[in-house]
Amino acid sequence: MEIVTVSDAAERLALSVRQVQRLAHAGDLVSIGPDRLDWGSVLRHEAAHKGHQRRAWAEATAWAAIALLTHVEVTWLGEAQRSRLKGELKRSTPEELVARTRNRATVHRLMGHRAVVDRLADEVIGSGSTSEVGELTGATGEQVDGYVSVARYDRLVTRYRLRNAVEEGNVTLRATAFDLAIAAQIAERGDVLAGLDLGASLDPRERSAGMRSVKQALVRSR
């Protein structure tokens, strides 16, 4: 595990120290004692924001963008909003889409006993590293990666005695307040959602596969 100071993280991310401290307080960066951060969490944050300086879409808008790409009906936005969003998707690059849809969920990287992985997999909407995207084979069996509701997140952490992973954990829970039934429909319509998850990965193969999937979806939408 590599540890860096808040000042070093701020320099890497081109942010102020105060902004980095707020990110750490919100859980976007992993704190390791006073004024120290996990370097991996800094790199993941950088990857998720790479290529786009505008603000991320709100949660509902982010899910609407993904739904449009997967041909899931978007009923929670008005017609004018849907039209504007379609226009933005036509002008978006894969990197921009990964960055602008990041508010669809809060990503928690955790560690749990090997025996709980299979049981947890039955309680999430599988995505990310456990999905087959392009030539990648889902890393099932030894880890779980998927979406859960914000309301259930704390219960799962308590029930399965999960703890924050300082380095790479074997459990990734993506907590969202969005309707999970619709999220499940989106996940079933190809690999766009998993591609967006992998697009922020630090693993070059995962990131490359994710970006290709997102690019293909954008091309099809045009």
Summarised one tens digit per residue, pLDDT across range 17-73 is 888 888 887 777 888 877 888 888 888 888 777 655 567 899 999 999 999 999 999
119 and 194, same domain (yes or no): yes
Average pLDDT over residues 78-90: 94
42 and 119, same domain (yes or no): no
- The verdict on residue 13 lying in a domain is yes
Furthest-apart CA pair in the chain: how many Å? 48
121 and 196, same domain (yes or no): yes
Specify the pLDDT at position 131: 75
- The verdict on residue 67 lying in a domain is no
109 and 40, same domain (yes or no): no
- The verdict on residue 59 lying in a domain is no
Q: Where does the pLDDT of residue 186 fall: very low under 50, low under 70, confident under 90, or very high at 90 and above? A: very high
Specify the pLDDT at position 221: 87
Amino acid, single-letter form, for residue 84: R
Return the structure tokens found at 200.
């922020």
Supply the mean pLDDT for the chain: 87
113 and 215, same domain (yes or no): yes
User: Is the pLDDT at 106 greater than 60, yes or no?
Assistant: yes
Looking at the chain, list the stretches that DSSP marks H as alpha helix, in order from N- to C-terminal side.
Answer: 6-13, 17-26, 39-49, 59-69, 79-91, 94-100, 117-121, 150-159, 180-188, 192-198, 204-221
- Structural domains counted in the chain: 2
36 and 107, same domain (yes or no): no
- The verdict on residue 76 lying in a domain is no
Which domain covers residue 146, as residue numbers? 102-221
109 and 23, same domain (yes or no): no
CA distance 62 to 55: 12
Distance of CA 207 to the CA centre of its chain: 12
Average pLDDT over residues 3-24: 86
Q: How big is the CA angle at 68 (ends 99 and 137), to the nearest 5 degrees?
A: 65
